[in-house]
Amino acid sequence: MPAVSSLVPSRFLTLLAHLVIVITIFWSRENNVLACLPVTYTPEQFTSKDTELIVALSITLGLFVVELAGFLSGVSMFNNTQSLISIAAHTSASLALIFFLFEQWDCSVYWWIFAFCSVLPAFIEVILFIAVFGLKKKPL
């Protein structure tokens, strides 16, 4: 199987791996919230950090919907550039989030992972979606 034709399944699998890890963090977010807090904390601090993590994970899930809609609609399914960017971003996110989950990194690290590994491919997906459906251009 040529390298170009293997981009579609690779992209789909890395996207789903990232999605599964985000859902896992949703289920076990208490340990990550505790890692974000000082040794002595108030219930208000816990609630604040928990809300911050819930918001970040919810936005990430929204960006998954955007990216999966573009991918499954065929807008970017065979776009090699978008596939490579998406594979790199979601593979990096999967690896970083595994460390985030098991090593219990600070919550502020999630925002960096979110910016580079979720927002970037979703933003490019939106641009492709606008180009194809809004401007009636053929995908690259």
User: Mean pLDDT in each 10-residue stretch from start to end of the chain (140 residues)?
Assistant: 74 96 93 90 94 96 94 88 94 96 91 95 92 74
Q: Are 83 and 9 in contact (CB under 8 A)?
A: no
- State residue 37 phi and psi, 5-degree precision: -105, 155
* pTM greater than 0.95: no
Residue 134 pLDDT: 82
